[in-house]
């Protein structure tokens, strides 16, 4: 199955999921769209994010012949998953369900936390996804406005981000959680700061790996996996913003597969 896996995010955050997909499925072609021209999604109304998500996903299917879509963005998953699954002619893998499943598996105390964008937390998607696991846990969900902006600037450490993290994470610390889900794909880039603030007794859970496992099992189930052949896997990265910045920061964040970025033009 030579067609690529299509992935998207508002910007650089989905590269955490792309890294996991590339590592776990090295034979797969990947096309990634980072909507940096319209980021951030987290502070936008759900309807608007839904429109962006549908536009990008359709572009991945129609322009790039994607065989499956990985929604590498919690905000877009929270706003648009149902519509994406209803409309698209290919399987759609999201980050919210795999993340929630990993979170409830990780906790021992039954007190868990999730942090995400304002849009994700306000949507209640994690409350529903955690409830759907059937596990009796107590969930503290809080928004962390500002984190994404630090990552998009390439500033993933230092005093400023540490001070912000101390302030934003106070409610999950007070809730005495033992597992914290990074419910925004940008946040793994701040994992060291977040871990430092939360302390050694809290396990951080990232949905990136879980999503890659979910993508592998879904593609396998549908007979869509690409078997490694002679031709090496191709990884393409597109951005609606500044492609020089996308290649530069994206290469630092993702690794050597991201050397060049191409321009993606939104219709709206």
Which positions lie near ligand DGL, rule CB under 6 A? 9-11, 13, 39-42, 73-75, 116-117, 120, 148, 184-186
> What does the alpha-carbon distance between residue 125 and residue 206 come to, in Å, rounded to a whole number?
16
Helix (H, G, I), strand (E, B) or coil at 100: helix
Q: How far is the CB of 75 from ligand DGL (least distance, A)?
A: 4
Cβ closer to ligand DGL: 65 or 242? 242
Q: How far is the CB of 152 from ligand DGL (least distance, A)?
A: 8
Pick the catalytic residue: 143, 184, 190, 254? 184
Cβ closer to ligand DGL: 66 or 79? 79
State the helix-helix crossing angle for 15-24 and 207-221, rounded to 10 degrees. 50
Cβ closer to ligand DGL: 36 or 107? 36
Contact 92, 29 (CB under 8 A): no
Q: How far is the CB of 109 from ligand DGL (least distance, A)?
A: 26
In what side-by-side order are the strands of the sheet with 30-34? 92-93, 68-71, 5-9, 30-34, 235-239, 262-263
Q: How far is the CB of 69 from ligand DGL (least distance, A)?
A: 15
Pick the catalytic residue: 7, 73, 81, 148? 73
Helix (H, G, I), strand (E, B) or coil at 9: strand
Torsion, Cα of 196, 197, 203, 209 (10° steps): -70
> What does the alpha-carbon distance between residue 134 and residue 41 come to, in Å, rounded to a whole number?
30
Tokens found for residue 208: 């990136």
Cβ closer to ligand DGL: 150 or 225? 150
Cβ closer to ligand DGL: 15 or 243? 15
Contact 10, 39 (CB under 8 A): yes
Q: How far is the CB of 148 from ligand DGL (least distance, A)?
A: 4
Is residue 184 annotated as part of the catalytic site, yes or no?
yes
How open is the CA angle 74-30-264, to the nearest 5 degrees?
A: 75
State the catalytic residues: 73, 184
């Amino acid at each position: 199955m030579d067609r690529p896996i299509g992935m998207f995010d508002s910007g650089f955050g989905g590269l955490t999921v792309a890294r996991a997909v590339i590592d776990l499925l090295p034979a797969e072609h990947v096309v990634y769209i980072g909507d940096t021209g319209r980021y951030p999604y987290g502070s936008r109304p759900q309807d608007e994010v839904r429109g962006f998500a549908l536009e990008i996903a359709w572009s991945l299917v129609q322009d790039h012949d994607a065989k499956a879509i990985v929604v590498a963005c919690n905000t877009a998953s929270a706003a648009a998953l149902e519509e994406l699954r209803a409309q698209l002619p290919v399987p759609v893998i999201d980050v919210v369900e795999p993340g929630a499943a990993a979170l409830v598996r990780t906790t021992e105390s039954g007190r868990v936390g999730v942090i995400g964008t304002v849009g994700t937390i306000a949507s209640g998607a994690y409350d529903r996804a955690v409830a759907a696991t059937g596990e009796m846990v107590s969930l503290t969900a809080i928004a962390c406005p500002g984190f994404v902006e630090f990552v998009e600037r390439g500033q993933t450490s230092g005093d400023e981000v540490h001070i912000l993290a101390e302030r934003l994470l106070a409610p999950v610390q007070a809730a005495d959680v033992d597992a914290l889900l990074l419910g925004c794909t940008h946040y793994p880039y701040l994992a060291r700061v977040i871990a430092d603030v939360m302390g050694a007794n809290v396990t951080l859970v990232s949905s990136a790996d879980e999503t890659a496992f979910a993508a592998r099992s879904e593609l396998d189930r549908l007979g869509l996996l690409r078997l490694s052949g002679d031709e090496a896997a191709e990884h393409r990265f597109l951005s609606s913003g500044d492609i020089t910045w996308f290649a530069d920061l994206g290469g630092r964040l993702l690794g050597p597969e991201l050397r060049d970025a191409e321009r993606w033009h939104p219709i709206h």
